[in-house]
Amino acid sequence: MKQFKEKFEAYRKSPNIRALKMWHDLCPQYFPLNAADALFQNLSPYFTLWFSAEIINELLGQRDRMRLIVLVLITVLGNLAISVFSQILNRACNHANVLLNQREEAAFVRKTLTLDYQDLESPDIRQLRRKITENERINGYGRNQLISTVCWGMEEMVHFILSLLLSMEMFVKIFRTGFSIWALGFCVLLVAAFALHTFLISVALQKISSLADDIGQNMLDKNRVEGGIDVYNMGKDIRLYRQAGLILKIKRKLYDAYTEVNRKFYTKQYLNDAPLFAIGYFIEGLVYAFVALYSLMGAWGIGSIVKYSRSIKNLWNSVAMFFNIKSYIEGNTRFIEEYLSYFDLPNRMYLGKIPVEKQFLCDGGDNEYEMEFQNVSFRYPGSEEYALKNINIKFQVGSRLAVVGQNGSGKTTFIKLMCRLYDPTEGEILLNGVNIQKYDYAEYLQLFSVVFQDFRLFSFPLGQNVAASETVDSDLAKRALEQAGFSQRLKEMPAGLETCLYKDFDENGVEISGGEAQKIALARALYKGSPFMILDEPTAALDPIAEFEIYQSFDNIVKGKTAVYISHRLSSCRFCDRIAVFDRGRIVQTGTHETLCGVEGKYRDLWTAQAQYYVGEEQ
C-alpha cells in the first residue's frame, strides 16, 4: 500500500502531469472536448462494423425483411448522428485549441515580462527560453509533443475500449461453443506473437530515438544559422564584403550534415520496421484463420468474421500504440522539464513596501532629496569580474550629473543599478537615506525616465510608442515629440500620432531612421515625465544639427528634474553640475568640467584626445 502511495505521489508530481494540469487550468474545456472528439471521430467504424456484420448475418441467415430494414436504418442514421456530433465537436476542439495556444503563449510571455530583470538578461535563462521555443516551434518537442501525444492516447483508448468490447463478445461466444485444445494453442500463439511484436516495437523505438534527437539538434543548428543570417539587415555588409559565398558554404555544410543524419535515420527506421511489419502480417493471418475456423464451427455467422478479426487487430494495434505513446512521452519528458523550469523561475528580488514620496513624482520637487551609492560593487550573474567596484557617489535630487568614461567602464551598469534593474552585489544605494530596496518597486520605477542606448520601439502607432500605453494624451505626446526635435517629421506623417512605425503590422507604416527612432525614444522619456531623466548617449544617432537642437532645448527638457547623462561627447557634459569619470568599473574622478580639466587625470586625457578632433568646435 505504501509503495503504491509513493508511486502515485511520484506520478502526481511528474512533470508531464504538472504541465497537463497547468494547461487544463488555462483552458478547462480543452481536454474534455478532445476526449469527446476522440470518441466520436473513432466511433463510426466500430458502429458500422457491428451493424454491417449483423446485416450480413441476417442476409445469410433468417433474411427477416423488417429486421434488415431496421438494421440498415440504424446504421445509416447512427452514422449520420455520429458524423454531426463529430463535426460539432471538431469545431469546438479547434476553437479550444486556439484558446489554449493563446493563453499558454500569454502565460509564457507574462512569465518573461515579470522575471527579475537580472534573470531576463542572464545568458543561461535566455538560452533556456530559446531552447524551449526552438524545440517547440522547430522540432515540435515539449508542449506540442505532449499535447498531441495525449490526444493520440485518447484516440487509442477509444480504439482499445471499443475493440475490447467487440473482442469480449467474441470470447463469450467461443466459451459457449466449447473448449478445444487447438483453440487454446491458437490463443497462446497469438498472445506470444503480440508480446513479441510489442517488445520489438519498444526496442525499435529506443534505437531510433537517439537518432531522432540528432535530427532535432541539426534542425536547431540549421535554423539558428538561418535565423542569424538576416539578409535584410545584413544586406549591405554581405554585398560590400562579398560574404555571399561564405554564407552559402556554411549553409551547404549544414544541409549536408542534416541530409546525412536524415538518411541514417530513415535507413535505420526501415530496418527496424521491416520485422515489425512481417510479424504484424503474421498476426493478422493468425487472427483471420482463428476467427474463420470458429465461424466454420458455428460459433458465429460469416458476417462476424470481419468484425472479430478487425476488432482483435485493432485491440492489438492499440496496445502496441500505447507503447509508442509511452516512449514518445518519456522521450519528451526532458523538454517538458525544461519548459516547466522556466515557469518555476522564482522572483528573488526583495520588494519593499515603503511608498515613494510624492514630491519625487511631480515636476520641480523641493530638491531636498539625494541619491547615494555607498560602497557599491556589482558583478553580473555568472560573471567573475566586477563590472562596478566600490562606487561611492552622492548627488542632489534636481542636479545634473554627467557620467563619462571609455566603453566597458561601467556607465550603463551604474544606471541599471540606480534604476534597480539589478541589486548591488555589495554595498547600498540610498534614496533620501533609505535603501532603495525598501521602496515599493513599481513606484520606485516610476521615478525614472530612461533612454538606454539600446532602446527599442514597437511596431505600434507613434502615439502609443510615445505614451507607452494604448491611451495617449495627444497634446502631451505632441509636446514631447516637439521637445525631442521630431515636430517636422510628425507633420509629414500621414496619420500623425496614429501612424504606425515600421511595416510589421501595417503596410502603411513608416520606416524611420536611427536618429528619428532616438528622438521618439527621447519623447517617450519626456512623456513619462519622471523626476529622474537618464539619458545614455541620447544623441549618438543624431546628426550634428539635431544634436545641437537637443542641447539647446536641454535646459527645457530636464528643467526641475534630476538628470543623469552618459556621453562620449565630453563637450556635451559641460552643462552638468557634476561629472563622474568611470574607469574599469570605478569612479576615478568627480568634479565640474573646469576643475577636472585643471588637473591631471582620466578626464583631461579623454578631453585632450577628443579635443584634437573638435578643435574648431570645442576650443
Beta carbon nearer to ligand ADP, 122 or 359 = 122
Eight-state DSSP code of residue 369: -
Phi, psi of 507 (to 5 degrees): -70, -15
Residue 454 CB, shortest distance to ligand ADP, in Å, is: 10
Beta carbon nearer to ligand ADP, 325 or 387 = 387
Residue 596 CB, shortest distance to ligand ADP, in Å, is: 18
Residue 447 CB, shortest distance to ligand ADP, in Å, is: 20
Residue 83 CB, shortest distance to ligand ADP, in Å, is: 58
Q: Please give the full DSSP string across 419-453, using - where no structure is assigned.
A: TTSS--SEEEEEETTEEGGGBBHHHHHTTEEEE-T
Beta carbon nearer to ligand ADP, 124 or 504 = 124
Q: Are 497 and 474 in contact (CB under 8 A)?
A: yes
Residue 583 CB, shortest distance to ligand ADP, in Å, is: 10
Residues 6+ apart with CB under 8 A from 587: 391, 392, 393, 580, 581
SS (H, E, C) 220-254: HHHHHHHHHCCCCCCHHHHHHCCCHHHHHHHHHHH
Beta carbon nearer to ligand ADP, 311 or 412 = 412
Beta carbon nearer to ligand ADP, 504 or 605 = 605
- The CA–CA distances, whole Å, from 389 to 135, 168, 534, 585 equal 40, 78, 21, 5
Nearest by Cα to 428 from 390, 380, 378, 376: 376
Residue 539 CB, shortest distance to ligand ADP, in Å, is: 16
Tell me if residue 299 falls in helix, strand or coil: coil
Cβ neighbourhood burial of 545 (10 Å; 0-12, 13-18, 19+): exposed
Beta carbon nearer to ligand ADP, 19 or 596 = 596
Q: Are 470 and 464 in contact (CB under 8 A)?
A: yes
Residue 321 CB, shortest distance to ligand ADP, in Å, is: 48
Residue 534 CB, shortest distance to ligand ADP, in Å, is: 12
Q: Are 309 and 288 in contact (CB under 8 A)?
A: yes
Residue 380 CB, shortest distance to ligand ADP, in Å, is: 3
Beta carbon nearer to ligand ADP, 331 or 410 = 410
Residue 404 CB, shortest distance to ligand ADP, in Å, is: 9
Beta carbon nearer to ligand ADP, 16 or 412 = 412
Q: How far apart are CA 112 and CA 72, in angstroms?
A: 59
Beta carbon nearer to ligand ADP, 27 or 387 = 387
Beta carbon nearer to ligand ADP, 410 or 424 = 410
Beta carbon nearer to ligand ADP, 139 or 413 = 413
Beta carbon nearer to ligand ADP, 408 or 494 = 408
Residue 525 CB, shortest distance to ligand ADP, in Å, is: 18
Phi, psi of 191 (to 5 degrees): -65, -40
Beta carbon nearer to ligand ADP, 117 or 502 = 117
Pairing of strands 448-451, 532-536: parallel
Residue 29 CB, shortest distance to ligand ADP, in Å, is: 42
- The CA–CA distances, whole Å, from 508 to 345, 487, 494, 500 equal 40, 20, 9, 7
Q: Are 567 and 552 in contact (CB under 8 A)?
A: no
Q: Are 304 and 47 in contact (CB under 8 A)?
A: no
Residues 6+ apart with CB under 8 A from 414: 373, 388, 391, 403, 582
Q: How far apart are CA 342 and CA 340, in angstroms?
A: 5
Phi, psi of 427 (to 5 degrees): 85, -175
- The CA–CA distances, whole Å, from 268 to 140, 186, 274, 512, 530 equal 21, 33, 10, 53, 64
Residues 6+ apart with CB under 8 A from 247: 229, 238
Residue 115 CB, shortest distance to ligand ADP, in Å, is: 14
Q: How far apart are CA 302 and CA 60, in angstroms?
A: 8
Beta carbon nearer to ligand ADP, 124 or 230 = 124
CA 371 to chain centre: 38
Q: How far apart are CA 311 and CA 159, in angstroms?
A: 9
Q: How far apart are CA 444 and CA 504, in angstroms?
A: 33
Residue 339 CB, shortest distance to ligand ADP, in Å, is: 24
Residue 424 CB, shortest distance to ligand ADP, in Å, is: 14
List, in sequence order, the alpha helices (H) in 529-568. Answer: 544-552, 554-557
The number of residues in the chain equals: 619
Binding site for ligand ADP (CB under 6 A): 121, 380, 383, 387, 405, 407-413
Beta carbon nearer to ligand ADP, 398 or 405 = 405
In the structure grid, which three cell numbers stand for residue 239, read together?
554585398
Q: How far apart are CA 46 and CA 498, in angstroms?
A: 59
